[in-house]
């Protein structure tokens, strides 16, 4: 009986932690169009659930990877869990670098096959766990479009991966993205 109670309590804490890390992918149609227009001009995003990382590290001492991605093709689709809203699905992308965030800074790490499989099929971009550059600093996507939501209270990232971490053939375009104001 003690084992059952302990397992139940741990399961509840795990569930509560992941509930607080819900992705913001449901938007109005105008927000989705605005996001898509923004991403066409700013195709580099850092996909990283900082809240998930904090929960994973606390509960099972695992680290969640972040991925620097170049978006190549996307589409607006009905939101998978709210048919009255929309999502922007990333249909085609290239992963330029993968790693952990330590003290807000990127540290290269090798992703496993399961993690990479998530990016081989269409996936909805999230406004709270996808990052771009705004005024030379890392910024959550929702802060770059007209989207009203509460502030995210997780650790975040303080800088994007350095250009020397991306494939040579994409370095010049990525450097230009990083330098824009």
- CA dihedral (21, 42, 72, 23) in degrees, to 10, reads 10
Residue 126, judged by CB atoms within 10 A of its CB (0-12, 13-18, 19+), counts as buried
CA end-to-end distance (rounded Å), the chain? 60
CA pair distance 87, 76, nearest whole angstrom: 6
DSSP 3-state of 174: helix
Beta bridge partners of 123: 90
Supply the mean pLDDT for the chain: 88
User: Per-residue confidence at 149, pLDDT binned at 50, 70, 90?
Assistant: confident
In a domain, 15, yes or no: no
- Rounded to 10°, the helix 2-19/50-60 angle is 160
In a domain, 13, yes or no: no
pLDDT, residue 148, reads: 85
Tell me the two tokens of residue 115: 């993690």
For 7-48, what is each residue's pLDDT tens digit?
A: 433 343 334 333 345 889 999 999 999 999 999 999 999 999
Query: How many domains is the chain partitioned into structurally?
Result: 1
User: Per-residue confidence at 6, pLDDT binned at 50, 70, 90?
Assistant: very low
In a domain, 137, yes or no: yes
Q: Span 87-113, mean pLDDT? A: 95
For 45-71, what is each residue's pLDDT tens digit?
A: 999 999 999 999 999 999 999 999 999
pLDDT score of 90 more than 80: yes
- The DSSP H or E segment spanning 102 is strand 86-102
For 120-143, what is each residue's pLDDT tens digit?
A: 999 999 999 999 999 889 999 999
In a domain, 12, yes or no: no
Q: Span 76-97, mean pLDDT? A: 96
Range of the domain at 145: 23-179
pLDDT, residue 181, reads: 58
pLDDT score of 1 more than 80: no
In a domain, 8, yes or no: no
CA pair distance 31, 18, nearest whole angstrom: 25
């Amino acid at each position: 009986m003690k084992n059952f109670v302990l397992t139940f309590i741990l399961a509840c804490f795990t569930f509560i932690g992941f509930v607080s890390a819900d992705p913001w992918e449901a938007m109005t149609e105008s927000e989705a169009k605005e996001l898509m227009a923004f991403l066409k001009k700013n195709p580099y995003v850092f996909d990283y659930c900082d809240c998930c990382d904090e929960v994973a590290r606390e509960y099972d001492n695992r680290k969640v990877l972040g991925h620097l991605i170049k978006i190549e093709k996307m589409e607006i689709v009905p939101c998978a869990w709210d048919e009255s809203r929309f999502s922007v699905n990333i249909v085609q992308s290239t992963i330029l670098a993968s790693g952990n965030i330590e003290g807000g800074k990127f540290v290269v790490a090798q992703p496993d096959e399961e993690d990479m499989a998530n990016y081989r099929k269409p996936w909805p971009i999230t406004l709270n766990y996808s990052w771009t550059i705004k005024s030379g600093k890392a910024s959550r996507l929702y802060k770059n479009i007209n989207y009203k939501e509460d502030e995210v209270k997780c650790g975040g990232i303080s800088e994007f991966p350095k250009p020397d971490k991306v494939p040579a053939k994409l370095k010049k375009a990525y450097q230009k993205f990083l330098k824009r104001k």
